[in-house]
Amino acid sequence: MNNNRYKILVIEDESNIRSFAKAILEANQYQVITSDTCQNGIMMFSSHRPDLVLLDLGLPDRDGLEFIRTIRSLQEATPILVLSARTGETDKVEALDLGANDYITKPFGTAELLARVRVALRVSQYSGNPSLSLDGKFFLHDLMIDYDRRIVSISGNEIKLTQTEYNILVLLAKHTGKVLTYAFIIREVWGPSDDGGVKKLQVNMANLRKKMGIKPGDNRYIINELGVGYRMCEE
């Protein structure tokens, strides 16, 4: 047995979900520790230094958002995946804005859980830019971004982007695999004091996707996470 295994902390009060996640992860060579409360989860985080946290938001003692706030206020960059209920869109957005890396909607299956865990661990390992080559170019399928020359091409054909479209694309590329909320993108692209940004973002995103040849409903390169934000897909 390999001893160099990733350690995952699962914080979830529903015992069936907790054991389900634990069983799947252990069967895939992850080391798993669990907690059923927020307070104990914070203590276990400090003493066990996990590589990733799976976090339920509805915990019996404190809101799971408190966990994210506490961990991020300690400048800890450990990836946090939120386990969220199907209808909790505002929760998801708040969790992502507080610094959670991603969310998984309950009920979730084995393949989805493992895929999200792998992506989050990979992103954290390569400090957010898994596809950046040594000569300053980003590649994803046929898409290439040349950061030095500020050129974007698909299958070798250059596509002309506005400054704003380019900035949005680069931001998504920099965080490949991670959902970026509307508020985050707006803040990064237009600055903190911008009003009415969501509409503006959607318009720019529609133009960007059109120029990239992505049809509505198509999730090539960029996934539209409805009501939450956008994600550059990894595979």
Give the footprint of Ca ion on this chain (CB under 5 A). 13, 56, 58
Cβ nearer to Ca ion, comparing 13 with 89: 13
Residue with CB nearest Ca ion?
58
Cβ nearer to Ca ion, comparing 10 with 212: 10
Please tell me the distance from the alpha carbon of residue 53 to that of residue 189, in angstroms, as a whole number: 29
Pairing of β 52-56 and β 7-11: parallel
Cβ nearer to Ca ion, comparing 13 with 142: 13
Which of 94, 99, 70, 90 lies closest to 178 in space, CA to CA? 99
Min CB(51)–Ca ion separation in Å: 23
Cβ nearer to Ca ion, comparing 64 with 229: 64
- Distance, C-alpha 116 to centroid of its chain: 9
Please tell me the distance from the alpha carbon of residue 213 to that of residue 207, in angstroms, as a whole number: 10
Min CB(226)–Ca ion separation in Å: 24
Which of 86, 87, 83, 47 lies closest to 68 in space, CA to CA? 83
**Residues composing the chain:** 235
Min CB(14)–Ca ion separation in Å: 5
Min CB(12)–Ca ion separation in Å: 6
